[in-house]
Structure 1
Amino acid sequence: MSRSAPLGRGTKVRTAVLAATIDELSERGYAAFTIDNVAQRTGVHKTTVYRRWPDREALIAEALADSVATDIPIPDTGSVDDDLRALARSLVTWANSASGRAVLAVMVSTAAGLPAPPNSARHVFRDRIRQTLPVVTRAIARGEIPDATDPAEMIKTLVAPIYFRVLITGEPVDDNTADAAATLALTAARAHLFAHD
């Protein structure tokens, strides 16, 4: 007797559990998050959840990674201007969405005196920066920005103004915010401000 569920069912369960995880984070926050609540929300037994994710940190980390990967795609338009603008606009759209707000709330939970998010949650954002680096390396190869440009520093400069408004000052962000961030990052790169040491 096989213990594994058919692929279709397994995929459906995974998708439902990850979506329920984001919903649970959005409604209850990181501190009150439990796998039991996710299981109830999904309509599966909690052992089904634990079979795939050994603890809540592993589940939250995968749900965050899935949300970020789905809602913030890596553009490849053939133009660094368009790529940066598309990336920044996707980030803004995601930050304004329920799932984006839930994910970001996890990241700032310590600021409110709540339990610290797991390092795996922070790893999601570091990994997404790594996955985005080809936007910059392709631009270098096309001669659009200087050869010595540090890709990670350029991407961090792109996303920093957006995260600052969302997480620190609480200001609204929109396409104008995204376009300004893209222009800032590109202008700084062309001024050689991200040159490797």
Structure 2
Amino acid sequence: MDKKLGRPRSEETKKAILTAAYELLSENGFDTVTIEGIAERAGVSKATIYKWWPGKAAVVLDGYFAATELLLPVPDTGSVKEDLFQQFNNLSIFITSPKGKMITELIAAGQFNPGIAEEYRVRFFNPRRHISRGILERGIARGELRKDLDLERSIDLIFAPLFYRLLITGDTLDSAFIRELINDIMKGLGQ
């Protein structure tokens, strides 16, 4: 009696789709990726992709972040200053790497496509902001930061110089810059 192979498990199928989306993004850039291409490479139907993702931007970004998620560990050293340095140093290393540079392409595409912009906010920036918020909250709890700190504005103050250099000036994003940035910001956020 022969065993029927049946369909692959859902997680295996999702992984194949995410891998295909990331590979196509890496090979050709966001604009050339299609749901049809992802489906073909993953060996699934378009309907299978739409079962889990609302469209191209969502699946491509999930594929991208699934492939790169381990590059951005969440620090918890016991020091808000060191945690912020590690978080933003890891982020700067990532966004200036070949894999990370794709984020600038996605940001550019998002300027003309609100759906893409929403997807990268939800899948990349909001999680980074959530991590920063946790770091600042721990700093407040330990007495390293003012209790009346506006957390959202503080997070904006930290992210803004990083992305200004990345997207506007092209100036160096290195550990020395990140250390100086965090030192300056801590002067304003501290007691």
TM-score over 0.5 (shorter chain): yes
RMSD: 2.9
Question: 1:122 aligns to what?
Answer: 121
Question: 1:33 aligns to what?
Answer: 33
Q: TM-score, normalised by structure 1?
A: 0.77
How many residue pairs align between the two structures?
185
Question: 1:195 aligns to what?
Answer: none
Question: 1:5 aligns to what?
Answer: 8
Q: What is the CA deviation profile of residues 52-96 of structure 1, one whole-angstrom value per residue up to 9, with x for unaligned ones? A: 324213213423554564322221111111101100111011102
- Quote the Cα distance in structure 1 between the aligned partners of 2:88 and 2:18: 24
Question: 1:106 aligns to what?
Answer: 106
- Quote the Cα distance in structure 2 between the aligned partners of 1:54 and 1:4: 22
The structure with the larger Rg is: 2
The answer for unaligned runs of 5 or more in structure 2 is: none
The farther-off stretch of 128-137 and 84-93 is 128-137
- Please tell me whether the aligned partners of residues 67 and 99 of structure 1 are also in contact (alpha carbons under 8 angstroms): no
- Quote the Cα distance in structure 1 between the aligned partners of 2:167 and 2:175: 17
Shift in alpha-carbon separation, 1:115–1:32, aligned structure 2, 3 A: farther
Q: SS at 2:100's partner residue?
A: helix
Question: 1:158 aligns to what?
Answer: 158
Q: Which structure carries more relative contact order (alpha carbon 8 Å, separation 6+)?
A: 1
Q: What is the CA deviation profile of residues 8-52 of structure 1, one whole-angstrom value per residue up to 9, with x for unaligned ones? A: xx43443443344234334433322212333444x4234443443
- Quote the Cα distance in structure 1 between the aligned partners of 2:158 and 2:178: 8
Question: 2:57 aligns to what?
Answer: 57
**What are the equivalent positions in structure 2 for 1:1-197 lying under 5 Å apart?**
5-6=8-9, 10-41=10-41, 43-47=42-46, 48-66=48-66, 69-109=69-109, 115=113, 117-124=116-123, 125-190=125-190
Q: SS at 1:149's partner residue?
A: coil
Q: SS at 1:108's partner residue?
A: helix
Deviation at 1:186, TM superposition (A): 1.3
Q: SS at 1:75's partner residue?
A: coil
Deviation at 1:168, TM superposition (A): 1.2
Q: What is the CA deviation profile of residues 80-135 of structure 1, one whole-angstrom value per residue up to 9, with x for unaligned ones? A: 11101100111011102233211221112256xx6552422223313431243110
